Amino acid sequence: MTVPSALQSSASHAERLLEPAWAKVTAITPEAEGIATYWLKFIDPAMQAAYSFLPGQFNMVYLPGFGEAAISVSSDPEDRSVIGHTIRFVGNVTRAVSRLKVGDLLGLRGPFGAPWPMAEIEGRDVIIAAGGIGLAPLRPPIHYIMNHRERFGKVFLLYGARTPSDLLYPNEYKKWGEAGIQVQVTVDRADEKWQGQVGVVPMLFYRFRMDPNSVVLTCGPEIMIRFVVYEGLARRIPSEKIYLSLERNMKCGQGSCGHCQLGPYFICKDGPVFRFDALEAFFNVEEF
Ligand SMILES: Cc1cc2nc3c(=O)[nH]c(=O)nc-3n(C[C@H](O)[C@H](O)[C@H](O)COP(=O)(O)OP(=O)(O)OC[C@H]3O[C@@H](n4cnc5c(N)ncnc54)[C@H](O)[C@@H]3O)c2cc1C
């Protein structure tokens, strides 16, 4: 996969990739139990104006005394005024982030990684399949598609979470639907108020006739990704039209330390977005 132009850096951009720059928390949106979106601005306005990312890229989020964690950018790539990170509080860094308040600072390094291939997939139908917090790195492509709706064919969002209260961004589905995205949501376990679908994300493929020229973008638990790939292939969507975003433990974020290696690839540098045909040998769908 080619290096995105955003990463072909000037000296100052290269420095930003090595050294965290301070950003202020301007707002916090609680999303679900143990998950919130942090809206950030670099304290240096010139840096904020210069910062751009491509859908699917991530930043290393840094808190002194706790360390760094890779976190996808979940906001609109064309809104340069703010950077959104949707964070699940699971460990050292992310639990420390959960204690931040509006006005506090955290460090950002980035953006890193190969993005979703938004320009290459223009003209096609797009199936976005996400599970749980896997919707966070897929929200920028949703924004991108809404910003350039005429460039895409039919667009389906197939999204699932464990319970209704685990669904991310529920207040945005109506707006996405009005922009011509067919939003289908499912949960593993309903509660008494839930009137929607119950079941796993790959099941949602059965609700539509999908064109074999479609493109699939998927992120979520690996077991879900495997079944999404399987459903895509079963509809004759070729493996080079199926893109997935993978998470692995990361340290440096730029292919030096080897923490996130998968076969010949570094997830941080060659991914996190991969074409399925590149990963097929290391990601055996038939196993399941
Ligand atoms: C490219 C990329 C993009 C990512 N984007 C996001 C994002 O947008 N939002 C987000 O919240 N996370 C994201 N992650 C995951 C995040 O980097 C990890 O969860 C990271 O380990 C958190 O750091 P920590 O120091 O808080 O936890 P650590 O101290 O590293 O981990 C603590 C414990 O939590 C476990 N753990 C780690 N990750 C998870 C997980 N995802 N679910 C359950 N248990 C886990 C670990 O196995 C460990 O036992 C992304 C990861 C990658 C590689």
Q: What is the mean pLDDT of the chain?
A: 89
Q: Residue 8 pLDDT more than 60?
A: no
Convert the pLDDT of each residue in 44-69 to its tens digit: 999 999 999 999 999 999 999 999 99
**Residue 248 CB–ligand 1 contact under 6 Å:** yes
The span from the CA of 245 to the CA of 132, in Å, is: 13
- For the chain, the farthest-separated pair of C-alpha atoms sits apart, in whole angstroms, at 56
What pLDDT is attached to residue 256? 74
The yes-or-no verdict on residue 135 having pLDDT over 60 is: yes
Q: Which pLDDT does position 41 carry in this prediction? A: 98
Q: What is the mean pLDDT of residues 141-145?
A: 98
Q: Which atom of ligand 1 is nearest to the CA of 35?
A: 11
The CB of 252 under 6 Å from ligand 1? The reply is: no
Pocket test for ligand 1, best of 94, 135, 257 (most atoms within 8 A of CB): 94
Q: Which amino acid type is present at position 119?
A: A
Predicted confidence at residue 262, as pLDDT, reads 76
Residue 279 clears pLDDT 80, i.e. is over it: yes
Residue 40: both structure tokens together: 């950030």
Structure-token pair, residue 259: 């923490």
Nearest to 217 by CA among 241, 183, 196: 241
Q: How many angstroms separate the CA atoms of 162 and 164, rounded?
A: 7
Dig out the tokens for 8 from the structure. Answer: 């072909």
Q: Where does 12-154 show beta strands of DSSP type E?
A: 21-32, 35-42, 58-63, 67-72, 83-88, 105-112, 126-131
Q: How far is the CA of 133 from the centre of ligand 1 (A)?
A: 11
Residue 255 has pLDDT above 90, yes or no: no
Rounded Cα distance, 234 and 224, in Å: 15
pLDDT at 252 over 90: no
Would the pLDDT of 241 be above 80? yes
Nearest to 172 by CA among 33, 61, 37, 34: 37
Q: Could you tell me the two tokens for 110?
A: 């980035």
pLDDT at 90: 95
Q: Where are the beta strands (DSSP E) in 121-176?
A: 126-131, 155-161
> Is the CB–ligand 1 distance for residue 71 below 6 Å?
yes
Residue nearest to atom 49 of ligand 1 (CA): 91
- pLDDT (tens digit per residue) in 161-201: 999 999 999 999 999 999 999 999 999 999 989 999 999 99
Per-residue model confidence (pLDDT) at position 253: 65
Which residue puts its alpha carbon closest to atom 6 of ligand 1? 71
Higher pLDDT, 265 or 118: 118
Which of 95, 168, 243, 247 has most ligand 1 atoms within 8 Å of its beta carbon, as the pocket-test mutant? Answer: 247
Q: Identify the three-state secondary structure at position 164.
A: helix
Question: Which residue, by CA, sits nearest to atom 20 of ligand 1?
Answer: 69
- Of 60-69, 114-123, 191-200, 258-267, which gets the smallest average pLDDT? 258-267
Rg (CA), the chain: 18
pLDDT at residue 6, rounded to an integer: 36
Which pLDDT belongs to residue 109? 93
> Which ligand 1 atom sits closest to the C-alpha of 250?
53
Of all residues in the chain, what percent carry a pLDDT higher than 90? 73
